[in-house]
Amino acid sequence: MVDLMTIGQIALNGLLLGGIYALISIGLTIIFGVIRVINFAHGEFLMLSMYASFWLFQILGIDPYLSILIIIPIFFIAGWLTQRAFIQPILKGPALMQIFITVGISLAMMNGALFLWKADYRSVTPSYAAITFKMGNFLIGLPRLVAFLSSIVIVLILYLFLKKTHLGRAIRAVAQDREAALLMGINMRRIYLIAFGIGTACVGVAGPLLLPIYPVFPTVGTYFVLIAFVVVVLGGMGNMTGAFIGGLIIGLIEAFSGFFITPQLQSLVYFVIFILLLLLKPSGLMGVVGAEEIGMK
């Protein structure tokens, strides 16, 4: 049978990875919470940030972790522009169209990448990729540890930003009650732009953190965005803390299901959890913003 030590190791791996899932999901949940749009292209932004980090390493020799400094502003702007050019004009229209435009962006990005860079798996192996630490009887890989710690740092920064700064409070106001925010004179358009920018920047950070651990290929985004959706619904749409905790939980589930269930059925676990959540408890663990959109009266 499986001993306690192995279980502990699996749990540890799960938690570490969960940190990254949290980071990816937080971006998605912010975008939904503030703008009420489900960004089907979120995974493709992750894929692009992984490729960006890859090419920066290949061509310019920039370490993935350093590339984060370049990628954050670029992806913030990319998110800003996406909101400005594509989402904002159709926000007033039917939700149908909002879904389709992000699906369109997703298709274009994914297949653009496929066309330009082919389907080959690419990975980087910086010098430190193989370093592992020993903590008690457990092994911790350096890349996973860095990813986890960085995620926590980013989440904390975001948390402080939203709680303490004026802009952050404005963003939270819009997420909580749009009409009230409008009446208070908050510039909704600007908030939307910033929110999309932040959401995309989050996913931009996640890319380089993931690269030493996972290979990149054009459809890698779909795998992670699916996890992100499950996390976001689990933690409650629009709820940052929920996304964080949800990310850790899903990380654990992934680690354990990877161990106990045949790899073919591993994704099945997510889908089933996802469907069950949507049907039985769409508000997730921590309650939901925008319940009407989901269909709760």
Q: Where are the beta strands (DSSP E) in 45-109?
A: none
Cα distance between residue 28 and residue 39, in whole Å:
7
**And the tokens for 52?**
């960006």
Q: Which of residues 9 and 266 has its CB atom nearest to other proteins in the complex?
A: 266
Q: How far is the CB of 228 from other proteins (least distance, A)?
A: 11
Q: How far is the CB of 221 from other proteins (least distance, A)?
A: 13
**And the tokens for 239?**
């709820």
Torsion sign across C-alpha atoms 276, 270, 142, 240:
negative
Kind and range of the H or E run holding 141: strand 138-141
Q: Which of residues 130 and 272 has its CB atom nearest to other proteins in the complex?
A: 272
Q: Which of residues 152 and 286 has its CB atom nearest to other proteins in the complex?
A: 286
Cα distance between residue 243 and residue 239, in whole Å:
6
Q: Which of residues 7 and 296 has its CB atom nearest to other proteins in the complex?
A: 296
Q: How far is the CB of 60 from other proteins (least distance, A)?
A: 26
Cα distance between residue 258 and residue 164, in whole Å:
40
Q: Which of residues 73 and 287 has its CB atom nearest to other proteins in the complex?
A: 287
Q: Which of residues 60 and 279 has its CB atom nearest to other proteins in the complex?
A: 279
Identity of residue 134? K
Q: Which of residues 147 and 232 has its CB atom nearest to other proteins in the complex?
A: 232
Q: How far is the CB of 159 from other proteins (least distance, A)?
A: 26
Q: How far is the CB of 259 from other proteins (least distance, A)?
A: 18
Q: How far is the CB of 262 from other proteins (least distance, A)?
A: 8
Nearest to 40 by CA among 28, 52, 48, 49: 28
- Interface residue list for other proteins (CB under 8 A): 38, 86, 89-90, 93-101, 103-115, 118-119, 218, 226, 229, 233, 264-265, 267-268, 271-272, 274-275, 278-279, 282, 292-295, 297
Torsion sign across C-alpha atoms 223, 225, 226, 231:
positive
Q: How far is the CB of 200 from other proteins (least distance, A)?
A: 17
Q: Distance from first CA to last CA of the chain, Å, rounded?
A: 47
Mention every residue, 6+ apart, whose C-beta is less than 8 A from residue 167.
161, 194
SS3 134: strand
Give the CA-trace dihedral at 201, 203, 208, 212, to 10 degrees. 170
Burial pattern 56-73, b for ≥16 Cβ within 10 A else e, equals bbeeeebbbbebbebbbe
Q: Which of residues 126 and 282 has its CB atom nearest to other proteins in the complex?
A: 282
Q: How far is the CB of 104 from other proteins (least distance, A)?
A: 4
